[in-house]
Structure 1
């Protein structure tokens, strides 16, 4: 999946994603005060941490969030149902991705030290899970360095141009049961009598 972050005047932006199924989706950007788009921070954090079920991984799998719109391509049958199932199945991971991306975004925007970032992540992680935080200082340094690199590329993008990044992680597809069929695999009584 290719994701393009389109720069508008000021700190405004929007994103488009061309999924593997040929469908292009658009999402508006909401954070007008940040130099780095929040969606770019999401992309980098999820990519670097291998989060296949976060926001961008869900989009790659076929999720269409309420603020998104299809701008080109033809969706497969049952796309709306599949989207709902993906969002439901990935809900916890989407929440975790939001927390991690927000923390990494703040770290780069505010030039925080890895120790300050770890403190913030530990506090968030304590709410999410009783298990130890599976991220250490080295991972934080690598992810914040990756976001700084992409932020540098973003800052060079002129208004009305875009920065395109490839989503390298495999999409986790959520199956959608065929509609209109009995659970036993046999045709319904009505269908059998309509020959």
Structure 2
């Protein structure tokens, strides 16, 4: 599964998901603008590095829509909506964990860059137990954010950053 983060305007981005086993998806515009790194890109990084195969992007890889994405090429039909709703209910068990990790990792990454984290993100880190961030996974996530942020900041409107989901798609159907 290929995930594309595209700048679509000043302080606006979208996320496109290209799947082999299910229809392609789009979230446009996507929420949570940040000049340094899109919010949903932080989710993809923490899900990958902390091994969350059933978070937001894992649910997408299983044929769901994470309740926020819409098809790009397939007309929304009742049958499509029923299939996606079933997949959404059956998958995505780690979405809450993804939110916790994104809210914890982003402030650490910002501080390492000499930037003050948004107070909303800093407050969210208190929901994680002390020592809950594995040091190796955290270091890998921070390195990914460094590299992806550099690529993101270099984009003009119309440009994009592509990231491959590290695990295979499951289930789903191109119907």
In the superposition, the TM-score normalised over structure 2's length comes to 0.77
Deviation of 1:26 after TM superposition, in Å, equals 0.4
Q: Higher relative CO (CA 8 A, sep ≥ 6), structure 1 or 2?
A: 2
Q: Residue 181 of structure 1 corresponds to which residue in structure 2?
A: none
What is the rounded CA distance, in whole Å, between the counterparts of 2:26 and 2:71 in structure 1? 6
Among residues 119, 135, 149, which one is paired with 1:151 in the alignment?
Answer: 149
Unaligned ranges ≥5, structure 1: 114-119, 127-131, 175-195
What do you get for the CA RMSD once the two structures are aligned? 2.9
What is the rounded CA distance, in whole Å, between the counterparts of 2:86 and 2:113 in structure 1? 37
C-alpha contact 1:11 1:35 (8 A) present in aligned 2? no
Moved over 6 A (4+): 74-77
Q: Residue 26 of structure 2 corresponds to which residue in structure 1?
A: 26
C-alpha contact 1:23 1:75 (8 A) present in aligned 2? no
What is the rounded CA distance, in whole Å, between the counterparts of 2:16 and 2:37 in structure 1? 16
Relative to 1, partners in 2 of residues 1:168 and 1:98: Cα closer, same or farther, differing over 3 Å? same
Deviation of 1:9 after TM superposition, in Å, equals 2.8
What is the rounded CA distance, in whole Å, between the counterparts of 2:156 and 2:11 in structure 1? 12
Deviation of 1:25 after TM superposition, in Å, equals 0.6
Among residues 140, 144, 150, which one is paired with 2:138 in the alignment?
Answer: 140
Which stretch has the larger CA shift, 64-73 or 155-164?
A: 64-73
In the superposition, the TM-score normalised over structure 1's length comes to 0.70
Unaligned ranges ≥5, structure 2: 115-123
Which stretch has the larger CA shift, 64-73 or 140-149?
A: 64-73
